[in-house]
Amino acid sequence: MKTLFLDDNQERIEIALTHFPDCTIVKTASECIESLKKDQWDLVMLDNDLDEIIKDKAIVGCGVDVAKWICQNKPIIRNVLIHSRNHYAIIEMTELFQENKIKFMQICFFDIDWNNLKKNCNLDIRNSIYKEI
């Protein structure tokens, strides 16, 4: 399963690599968007609060910015998972994805049932707008 994992927390990165050893790790929103431009993904996992420094208004800095880019550009993504603990960002990403009919899942990272996630991502979740796993 081709997985793109956006997070800058080393502990969460190590956990993700334990379960998805071949996943692509990106630590900034701009790296994530570049990866989305270059390839198709079975699973994109989005954190929101990143340590990316915004030096120029053109540089994006959080998961919400990636969600906005996804909604505007509609890259080929089979499954999107929001794993942020930032309640306000979750609400904003949820509203963005719902308004743009982008199908997604949302769960706190440390509540992920990794075996269930793998099983569900082998299926196509595009038929459900919101699915907590």
pLDDT for 11 beyond 90: yes
Look up residue 3 and give its two tokens.
């997985």
Domain range summary for the chain, segments of one domain joined by + = 3-131
pLDDT tens figures, 14-63: 999 999 999 999 999 999 999 999 999 999 999 998 876 555 554 568 99
pLDDT tens figures, 78-94: 889 999 988 899 999 99
Q: Is residue 70 packed enough to be buried (19+ CB in 10 Å), middle (13-18) or exposed (0-12)?
A: buried
Evaluate whether 121 touches 97 at the Cβ level (below 8 Å). Answer: no
Q: Where are the beta strands (DSSP E) in 39-109?
A: 41-46, 77-82, 104-106
Superfamily, domain 3-131: Response regulator (3.40.50.2300)
When pLDDT is averaged across residues 117-125 and rounded to a whole number, the result is 65
pLDDT for 115 beyond 90: no
